[in-house]
Structure 1
């Protein structure tokens, strides 16, 4: 498969150094289960493969323009399905089943071994790794069950904190969720770096909280030069290794 040229180079590592790395969960550590998505579409018609669903997770916004408000759950689900190649009429017909997978069913790790390796490398380079996610609740337990990460020892990588919007009562894109995360680990916002796959919920909101932010864009689809981009967690670890102490 041919991918577009690489997104503009990342330029958002704080000049003062990074004491806390904040990571989005959905889109960075986890993705909707492709098999469950295909099951939700039912028999017959288009049944996108794993790669199509993976790519759709990062480009649904532009493809879904005009389907509804950007913060509307139904519009998000429809634009995600359409971007994966599902005809709009079929996506609408199967919306309830798709919603259950995209909005409520636990997401799964894309590549557990690679994610854990990259998280381990990141944790070796900064004092605090914090997951900041919009969730219906139970995000920390789900990440631990998936073997990705947990607070304290466990099967996954040890992180300092998991900030779950349902538990703290602040949801992205409210910058308050990022300020809460920084305060919880005792780090000034200007020494925090956040990485997430949504320009609105992650990049813009974390920036508004006074943090540096990078857009997680594995396929290089975002061409906006106003913010920096990374294609993988391994790239984040590499950038952190060159950040000032």
Structure 2
């Protein structure tokens, strides 16, 4: 775990938390099965779905879900038969998801003590996804790159999150599974937590009453 409190003002008054890789996890079992059947290397569909021509437009809100699916189908067209490419794109964009309930509970308990905001590089349909997971009320709000027009590690999205929390960056605890995103937060003076599992979050939230490590 990386937990680097601000040297002048230890502690925090708001929690800013990533979603994917921390709270939400995708099950790509069916995608893996279809890739094997099509003779494709594991991860081929993901590589196309989040390729350089697709990833940024997706998380900046420039693609609908249908356009994203079509772009994956097109990208796989040189690797698989048309029907296989379409099936893979459909399976990938419709993959089942689950929420880590331990992380969810920690954030719910933290919210009783301070604002909690979700800060994520996500899609325009994030709100619908959170509703289906039963997490629409998990946080005080979501700072979504697709709506903000800036994606982590761009400093703008961190500043927007701090402003919405009503807290100076130096008083924010930022949690993310990607090290480069944590570093960007720390450069703004936030306390950074490089998340590798629920224990990291539990330890980071220990200063809050009732959330000791």
Identify whether the pair has TM-score above 0.5, normalized to the shorter chain: yes
TM-score, normalized by length of structure 2?
A: 0.66
Map 1:19-34 to 2 at 5 A: 19-34=13-28
TM-score, normalized by length of structure 1?
A: 0.59
Match 1:150 to one of 127, 136, 140: 136
1:121 aligns with 2:100: no
Give the whole-Å Cα distance in 1 for the aligned partners of 2:24 and 2:51.
Answer: 20
Gaps of 5+ in 2: 56-77
Deviations 1:94-124 (A, max 9, x none): 796767666x44662243x323322222223
Gaps of 5+ in 1: 1-6, 54-66, 76-91, 152-156, 219-229
Give the whole-Å Cα distance in 1 for the aligned partners of 2:105 and 2:123.
Answer: 27
Query: Structure 1's 22 and 145: CA in aligned 2 closer, same or farther, altered over 3 A?
Result: same
1:166 aligns with 2:146: yes
Give the whole-Å Cα distance in 2 for the aligned partners of 1:99 and 1:175.
Answer: 32
Per the TM alignment, residue 178 of structure 1 is displaced from its structure 2 partner at its CA by 0.6
Query: Structure 1's 99 and 194: CA in aligned 2 closer, same or farther, altered over 3 A?
Result: farther
Aligned residues: 180
